[in-house]
Structure 1
Amino acid sequence: MTSPTPPAEQPRLTADEFRTLHERLRAMARTAGNAERGALDQLTPERVAAAATEVRLGLTVSLAAEIQTHPAPDNPEPATHRITVPALEDLTSDGLHFATDRFAMNVHGDADSHLDALCHVLFDGALYGGVPASSIGADGARALAVELAADGIVGRGVLLDIPALRGVPWLEPGDHVTAEDLAAAEAAQGVRVGPGDLLFVRVGHRRRRAELGAWDASRARAGLHPAAVAFLAERRVAVLGGDGNNDTAPSAVPGVGFPVHVLAINAMGVHLMDYLQLEELTAACARAGRWSFLCVVAPLRLPAATGSPVNPIAVL
C-alpha cells in the first residue's frame, strides 16, 4: 500500500524544550526513588498482591502479535524460523525421534512485540541514571540489561483506548496522543492510572495494519506526543506498552527520532513494550465493562541483552 500522509499540523518541541523536559522528568524519577531497577521499583509486593484482586472472570488474553516470518514494508528483516524434522524413513519407523526449531529475530524491529530494556536508549553519552554509555558494547550490557526483569513484571494493567475516545477505528500515522487524551480516556472509561501500573495505550496500529495492509512504520506511525510522557511521571507508571512503537513518526522533536523512548527509558527508567496486539484485550475489556486487569510479563532470560520478545498476558 502507499505510505500514509501524516496530519498537516502537529505540535512540535524545540531541541531546548525537549532537553528541559528531559531534565524535569529525570528529576521526577529521582524523587520517585527508582534508581536501581528504574520504574520497576514501583511494583512493590503490596501493589503486586493488590493487582491479583483485579481477576474477576479468570479470562486470559495475550497481548502479543504473532511473530512475522515474511518480509513486509514494516518488517524488511523478518524473524527466521526453521523446523528440522526426522528423515522420511524415520517418520514412520519405530523408536524415538524429535522435531526441532531454530529461531532468530531482530528484537527491536517495527513488527514484532518486544520489551525494551533500560540499556536500549543512549542519549547525550549516558544511559538511564547517568550510567556511562561505555557500559554497553558488542558483548552486551554490563548494566540495565533485560535481566532486571528476569523474575517477570507483574502488576495492575490499565488499557486506555484513544481511537474509541475520538470515535475512530484507529489514529492515522503521524497523529499524536496527548496528556489530555490520556486523562479524557480515563474519564470516559471510568478508570484511573496509578503508581506501579502497567499502562497500555491503544492507537489502533494493529487494526489499521490488518485492514489496510502493512506500511513503512519507520516513517509514519501514531504514538504519544513527548509532552504526554509527563503524565507517566506524575502517575508513577511502572511500564508503558503500545500497539505501535509508542513514538510518533515523524518525530515531534527535530534531531531526536524517538523522543518518547528517550524520555521514558533514558530519563525515567520506564521499560517500554512496542508493537503489542491490543485488539483482543480491547474487546474483552469492553465486554467486561472494566479497563484494569492483572498483567504478567515474562521476558526471556537473555544475559546482557537490550530487549526481548515478549508475550504479556492479561488476566481479567
Structure 2
Amino acid sequence: MDNVKKNFPKGLPTLAELAEVNKGKDVPPETAWIWGEEDDIGRINLLTPEVVRAAQESELKDGKVVSLNWSLEFPAKPSFHRSPLKHHIEVHPLSPAIFDDFYDTNSQAGSQWDGLRHFGHLGINKMYNNLDPKDVLTTTRCGIHAISNHGIAGRGVLLDYYAWAHKNGKPYDPCSDRAFTAAELQAVAKDQGVTFKQGDILLIRGGYIKRYHELEKENPARLEALAEEPEFAGVEQTEAMKTFLHDTYFAAVAGDAPAFEVWPRQTEWYLHEYLLGLWGCIIGEMINLEQLAEECNKRQRWTFFVSSAPLNSPGGVASFANALAFF
C-alpha cells in the first residue's frame, strides 16, 4: 500500500483517472496494475491489518457463524463443461478402523474463487499484472497460493438483490439472463442501509442456489439443460457497472450463480476480463448465500466479518471458497 500511496497521493485512482495514467501505454485505459511489478494478489492488498482490525471491531458482535459453502455435491452437473465431484472413502491398510477420503473434482465446479490466473484480458491476451498466458503453465506467478498466504478476511457486505426485486414487484427467474444494473445494486444498498467502505468483500445474492433446489424437485430436466446451455442472472456488462465495481474498491466480489456476471454475456466483452485481468479483483461464484440472507434479514443487518482460506496450491488457478461469515 505504501508504494501505491506514493504514486497516488490523492488516493486510489478512479476508472476515469486510469485513462490518464495509462496514456501512451500499450494496455487498455482501464488497466489497474498499480500494486507493483511483483504483485501477485491484486485487490487483496486492500485487506491491510488496519482494515481487518476495523472490520473485526465493527462487525464481530455475538459470535454467530454462518457457512458460505455449498455442499461439494452441488451442482450435480456443473455448467461450462466442468466435471462433478468424485469422492470415495477407503479403509486404511493399517487398520479396519482407519479411513481416508479421496477427492477428484474441478476446483471451479462449486463454491469457489476465480483466481488471477483464471481469466485474462482477451483483447491484449494478458493475465493480471502483465502475466503472459504461456507463463501460466511454466511459473507460479499470480497463483492462488499467494492469496492463500495473505488470507482473505475483512468486512463483508451482502446485497440481497433477489429479496429486493421480489419486494419491489420485480420477480424473476435466477436461471435466466436477468442483468442486475449498477443503479439497482446501489438501490439495494440504500434500501438495506448499507454504505460501502474501501476493501469491502461484496456478496450479491441472485437466488440461484434457492432456484437450483426448487428445480431439483420441480423440473430436473431444466437443470440438465442449464448444464449444456448455461443461463444465469448476474451483474450487467456495462460501463456503469465497470465504474461501480472499480471505483468502490472492493477487495473481492462474489455471487451465488455459476457466473458472477449475467450469462450469456450481453456485450462483446466479459466483466471477468476487467475484474481479474485488469484490476486483480478475485471473483467468487456459487457462494451459498441462503443462510446468510436469512441471518441478515433477521438481524436487519447486511454487514458482517468474513474470512476465507483458499487452497495453498502453488500456481493454482482457483480454489474452493472455504468461507465463513461472522456476526
TM-score over 0.5 (shorter chain): yes
Offset, 1:262? 1.2
Determine which of 64, 76, 80 is the counterpart of 2:86. Answer: 80
Which amino acid in structure 1 is aligned with residue 161 of structure 2? I
Matched residue of 1:77: which SS? coil
Determine which of 229, 248, 271 is the counterpart of 2:262. Answer: 248
Listed as ranges, the matches of 1:194-233 within 5 Å are 194-213=197-216, 214-215=223-224, 216-217=226-227, 219-227=230-238, 228-233=241-246
Matched residue of 1:194: which SS? coil
Q: Please tell me whether residue 180 in structure 1 is matched to residue 173 in structure 2.
A: no
> 1:10 maps to which residue?
none
After superposition, what is the alpha-carbon deviation per residue over 1:173-195, rounded to whole angstroms, capped at 9, x for unaligned? 21111111110011000011221
Matched residue of 1:51: which SS? helix
From the superposition, tell whether residues 197 and 70 of structure 1 become closer, same or farther in structure 2 (CA, over 3 Å): closer
Q: Please tell me whether residue 136 in structure 1 is matched to residue 147 in structure 2.
A: no
From the superposition, tell whether residues 63 and 34 of structure 1 become closer, same or farther in structure 2 (CA, over 3 Å): farther
Quick check: 2:111–2:320 contact (8 Å CA) kept in 1? yes
Listed as ranges, the matches of 1:98-109 within 5 Å are 98-109=98-109
Separation in structure 1 between the aligned mates of residue 36 and residue 280 of structure 2, nearest angstrom: 8
- Identical counterparts, % of pairs: 27
Offset, 1:219? 2.1
Separation in structure 1 between the aligned mates of residue 75 and residue 188 of structure 2, nearest angstrom: 36
Which stretches in structure 1 are left out of the alignment for 5+ residues? 1-21, 92-96
From the superposition, tell whether residues 40 and 145 of structure 1 become closer, same or farther in structure 2 (CA, over 3 Å): same
How many residues align? The count is 279
From the superposition, tell whether residues 235 and 55 of structure 1 become closer, same or farther in structure 2 (CA, over 3 Å): same
Separation in structure 1 between the aligned mates of residue 302 and residue 125 of structure 2, nearest angstrom: 39
Which amino acid in structure 1 is aligned with residue 153 of structure 2? V
> 2:47 maps to which residue?
43
Which stretches in structure 2 are left out of the alignment for 5+ residues? 1-26, 217-222
Which amino acid in structure 2 is aligned with residue 180 of structure 1? A
Q: Please tell me whether residue 61 in structure 1 is matched to residue 74 in structure 2.
A: no
Which amino acid in structure 2 is aligned with residue 68 of structure 1? E
> 1:146 maps to which residue?
144
After superposition, what is the alpha-carbon deviation per residue over 1:224-265, rounded to whole angstroms, capped at 9, x for unaligned? 1122232121110000111012021111123x4xx1211110
TM-score calculated relative to the size of structure 2: 0.79
> 2:303 maps to which residue?
292
> 2:13 maps to which residue?
none
Quick check: 1:128–1:268 contact (8 Å CA) kept in 2? yes
> 1:260 maps to which residue?
271
Matched residue of 1:23: which SS? coil
Matched residue of 1:25: which SS? coil
From the superposition, tell whether residues 108 and 99 of structure 1 become closer, same or farther in structure 2 (CA, over 3 Å): same
After superposition, what is the alpha-carbon deviation per residue over 1:175-228, rounded to whole angstroms, capped at 9, x for unaligned? 111111110011000011221010001110001101123351552111111222
Separation in structure 2 between the aligned mates of residue 287 and residue 71 of structure 1, nearest angstrom: 31
Offset, 1:24? 4.2
Quick check: 2:140–2:316 contact (8 Å CA) kept in 1? no
Matched residue of 1:226: which SS? coil
Across the aligned residues of Structure 1 and Structure 2, the Cα RMSD in angstroms comes to 2.3
From the superposition, tell whether residues 71 and 82 of structure 1 become closer, same or farther in structure 2 (CA, over 3 Å): same
After superposition, what is the alpha-carbon deviation per residue over 1:246-289, rounded to whole angstroms, capped at 9, x for unaligned? 021111123x4xx1211110111001111111000000011111
From the superposition, tell whether residues 235 and 71 of structure 1 become closer, same or farther in structure 2 (CA, over 3 Å): closer
